[in-house]
Structures are given as C-alpha cells and as structure tokens.
Amino acid sequence: MLTANQVAVIKQTVPVLQENGEVLTRHFYERMFRENPEVLTFFNPAHQKAGTQQRALAGAICAYAQHIENPAALADAVELIAQKHASLGIQAEHYPVVGENLLASIQEVLGEAASPEIIDAWAAAYGVLATIFIDREQQIYQDQKTDFGWTGFKRFVVKKREAASDNIVSLYLAPEDGQPLQAHQPGQYITVRLTPQDGEPVMRNYSLSNRPGADYFRISVKRELAVVDGAPNGVCSNHLHDRIQEGDVLELAPPCGEFTLQTRDETQRPLVLMAGGVGITPLLSMLYAALEAQPGREVIFIQCALNSAVRPFAEELVALQRDYTNLCTHLRLSEPSESDRHQGDYDSEGFLDAALLDELLGERHADFYLCGPAPMLKHAWQLLKARGVDEADIHFEFFGPADDLAA
C-alpha cells in the first residue's frame, strides 16, 4: 500500500513525466539493454528504432501516475499488457530487473530534481504495479494450462504453406505430439519463437486467422520491411517467408490477447468488422466465429487494401459471402492498379469515409471491431466518433505498441 504522502509525491511528478517521459523511457531501455542484455529477446528492435515502444511506455507511466489513487481505472490497459507479457513468458523474477533500471533512469535523467522522497515514492508505486501484473499473469498461465493444455513453448509442425497475397504467407500449424487443439477465442494471437540463421532467439506475436475449433492454428504473416531509415527489416517475418517450409517445426506459446469477439444475442444490432491490410487476420477469425455462432445476425465486413495484389484472403471472403446470406462484404482499394480497374473486382475506391458507413449502415447502431495500420485506425475512430458511436462499442487492436487513437 502507498502512503498518502507517496501518492501526493507521485501526483506531483505528473507534469515532469509529461515533459520528459520519452527522454526517460529512451534512457531506461538503453540502460536496461546495456546492464541486463538477457532481456533483449523480449523486445522487437524495429519498435525500439522507430520509437513506438518508448512512446508507449512513457504514456503508460504518465497514465499510472495520473490514476495512482484509482489503478482500477487502468484495468483495460493492464489486461492488454499482462496478456502481452504472458505471451512472451514474462515471469515474476523479471520485474526487479525492470524496477531497478527504471528507478536508476529516473535518478539519472532528473538529476537533483529526483529527491530521495521521489525515488522512494516511485519505488513503492512500482512495487504495487508489479504485484498487479505478476498476479494477473500467473492467472493467465493457469488459464492457458487449463484451456489449452500447455504453457511456455510447444513444438508445432508446418502442415501447409500458402500465399494469402503477394506479401502475406499463411502457415498451417499442428502440434507435433498429435494432441488435439482446443478452440482459441476469436481475435487471439500466438507467439512464435525461432532462431534465425546466425542470430539470437526472437519472439513475435501473430494473430490466428483461422476458424476457432479447427485442428490447426493458422498464422498469416506479412513480410515486414523497414519503415524508417536505419531500422531493420522484420527479422521474424522475413525468416518465415524465406526459410520456413512445410514439414518444418516452430515453437508456439498458447493463445493470448484481450481483443476478442464479444457476442450478443443474434437479434441485436449488426456487427461491423473493419480491416486494413494484414489487420484482417484477427477479424477473419472473428468473422468465422460470428457467422457460425450467430447465423441470424447481420455482419458487415469492410476490407481496405492498397490493391488486389496485396489484398489477402480474397477467395475465402468470396466463399463466405456466397455461403452466408447475413454477410455483406465490401472491398475498398485505396490505389487500385490498372488491372484492378479493368477487372472491376472491388466495390469502391479511396480511403474509408463517412459516405461508405452511411451507405452500409444508414443510421443504425452497431458493434465495431477495427484492426489495421495506425493511421487507418485513427481515421476510423474519428469517423465513428463523428457518427456518435459510444466508445464502449468500438473495439480495436494495434499491431505493435499501443497508441492513443484520440490523439
């Protein structure tokens, strides 16, 4: 428990954190990777290089300080982080490493402004937060053991490999030991652990794109290229594209994730799934689940892509549209090729806009699930807020460190 004085001190540091948060978190990561290189395997270097990891942590620290008297207000953020930690196998013994480096960075960045009183208050606050995460993550591990039959990493065989688009490959994975798979929750992801040639072990999360309850897991991986100068290409995605073939073995951790489909009674309002690029993967799993569980509910699936060459799962969506009368699919291409325009195998051109939502929904209320690149998510969020959609009815997932859609 924090004392009243410690709470007051934490609240007083909020303006300093808002001003210096990213400087602090950059220093923290650099220090931790230097002093404790054993934790490097838990982090994606591309996110470090782009600065997204540092911004996400700075925002999380500020949010915690602002809600220090009521950490329950951060329940959604805690669950997102705890699920991510569990997917990577974070354990209780890792928390002292983080705490030691965080407190040292506060001291080193703030200098004389970091009084003993401030360091004491943040040490206590970190201890409270660490306990919250440790307890929740241990429960997730227990649930994984109960629901899926294993924790940690298990060997899976690549039973099938196929192209989902020009830049996305799908891998169908079955347990090497032949044990049956329990159904994942639609929207969850798994963690792949592999060691690229002449490299260190890496772990990456990939959404499950298959129907829950299948006898395999399917991941559909986009080849990731560097998004900023000096950043590396995606180590794991390029390895999976270039080297992993049918018959190879990958290590997988059990499904995790809080971005899951919340079913309503089928007489309720429509379900709208809005996918951008490879963000379709968790939404496709949700689509299968919704169509199977609620055949009477209207489902609208909006797929946004650059052009047909990088539009994944075209044939699957055509088949689902044919088989389910309650499904309406709409394909919008932002930069259709000449071939696309000649063939006309898409519904509209441009970016997502209010006119399209008006056309498909009118003034009806709906439940919305969004996944795609950050600019697309922010744009979709603004469109939905302009329509008066309640935030509780908008569900979304970032691929990578979380960001603020309202910013």
The residues annotated with a catalytic role in the active site are: 95, 137
* Token pair recorded at residue 72: 């329950």
Distance CA 45, CA 355 (A): 39
Instruction: HSE, CB side, 13 Å, CA atoms: give it for residue 52.
Output: 17
Strand partners of residue 368: 272, 394
- CB neighbour burial string for 231-264, b if at least 16 within 10 angstroms, e if fewer: beebbbbbbbbeebeeeeebbbbbbbbbbbbebe
* Cβ–Cβ < 8 Å for 171, 252: no
Strand partners of residue 271: 299, 367
* Cβ–Cβ < 8 Å for 280, 320: no
Residue 151 CB partners (closer than 8 Å, separation 6+): 141, 144, 145, 253, 254
Chain centroid to Cα 250, Å, comes to 21
Residue 317 CB partners (closer than 8 Å, separation 6+): 301, 303, 329, 331
